């Protein structure tokens, strides 16, 4: 599938990998987070992709309002929208991966009732490692 470019993002589905890629090359304020995630959801529904790689190295931090929306609305509704669990590999800068606020937010999300059932995610500083994690998730599902 050809990439979809919406102002500040590039959204692509790779059927050979069964991975949906979201590349966010500009800061978050360049395009509203909720609109971007809605585009992701629509492409995921169209392609039936449940394995996503979000490259957020240039996105910048989410606002508190958007962070709350991600944890209270977006992730909890995914299972109902897609019918199965989704897996998101976040590609981070090394500084972002070591940021105490980022670490605390990830730990908070892992306490939510939807985590591990409706959605699972992990952060990476290497795209190779992120894709390997997604491939491992795919292989676990094939073996189940």
Span 36-69, pLDDT tens digits: 888 899 999 999 999 999 999 988 778 889 889 9
Per-residue pLDDT, 116: 86
User: Cβ distance 72 to 105 under 8 Å?
Assistant: no
Strand, coil or helix: 4? strand
Which run of H or of E encompasses 55?
Answer: strand 51-55
Listed as ranges, residues in the chain with pLDDT below 70 are 1-8, 27-31, 144
Q: Which residue has the tokens 């105490």?
A: 100
With respect to CATH, is domain 10-143 assigned 3.30.750? yes
Q: How far is CA 67 from the centre of its chain?
A: 13
Per-residue pLDDT, 2: 46
Which run of H or of E encompasses 132?
Answer: helix 127-143
Q: How far apart are the C-alpha atoms of 124 and 74, rounded to whole Å?
A: 21
Per-residue pLDDT, 29: 62
Per-residue pLDDT, 144: 61
Angle between helices 33-47 and 75-82 (to 10 degrees): 20
């Amino acid at each position: 599938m050809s990439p979809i470019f919406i102002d500040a993002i590039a959204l692509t589905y790779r059927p050979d990998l069964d991975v949906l890629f979201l590349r966010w090359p500009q800061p978050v304020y360049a395009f509203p987070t909720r609109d971007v995630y809605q585009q992701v959801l629509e492409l995921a529904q169209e392609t039936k992709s449940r394995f996503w790689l979000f490259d957020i190295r240039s996105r910048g931090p989410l606002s508190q309002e958007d962070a709350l929306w991600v944890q209270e609305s977006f992730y909890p509704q995914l299972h109902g929208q897609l019918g199965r669990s989704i897996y998101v590999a976040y590609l981070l800068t090394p500084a972002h991966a070591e940021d105490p606020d980022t670490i605390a937010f990830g730990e908070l999300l892992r306490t939510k009732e939807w985590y591990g059932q409706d959605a699972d995610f992990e952060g990476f500083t290497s795209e190779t490692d992120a894709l390997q994690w997604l491939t491992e998730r795919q292989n676990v599902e094939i073996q189940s």
